[in-house]
Amino acid sequence: EVQLVQSGAEVKKPGESLQISCKASGYSFTTDWLGWVRQMPGKGLEWMGVIDPGDSDTRYSPSFQGQVTISADKSISTAYLQWSGLKASDTAIYYCARLGRRTYYLDYWGQGTLVTVSS
């Protein structure tokens, strides 16, 4: 059974750094892309970017380029989303999801990680 299990909720202060994770199981981690999606409170889904865990090729949406870092460790089938200086506007739920390499749809989703940034 394919599963994407994300790390737990975080509460941080502005300016702090943070890394959240997404551990994949039930399939070959390098077969498909792994994407990250932001959902701010009461708002829609926003595509942040995606990584090919096989070679770490990473593509960012222009809105998130330079704001976050997406990485992956194929030895432990885990993808990461990292911030070096959080802002209050980063408060949101972050989802990871598998993007089929040949089908280009998000067939499996993590449960979401709530990140709250507040002073």
Partner 1 sequence: QSALTQPASVSGSPGQSITISCTGTSSDVGGYNYVSWYQQHPGKAPKVMIYEVSNRPSGVSNRFSGSKSGNTASLTISGLQAEDEADYYCSSYTSSSTLYVFGTGTKVTVL
Q: Binding residues for partner 1, per CB under 8 A?
A: 33, 35, 37, 44-47, 49-50, 59-62, 95, 97, 99, 103-107, 109-112
Stretch (H or E) spanning 73: strand 69-73
Contacts of 102 (CB under 8 A, 6+ apart): none
Residue with Cβ nearer partner 1 (50 or 81): 50
Closer of 27 and 109 to partner 1 (Cβ): 109
CB atoms under 10 Å from CB of 58, counted, come to: 14
Residue 93: other Cβ atoms inside 10 A: 18
Nearer to partner 1, 29 or 33 (CB): 33
Give me the least distance between CB of 104 and partner 1, in Å please: 4
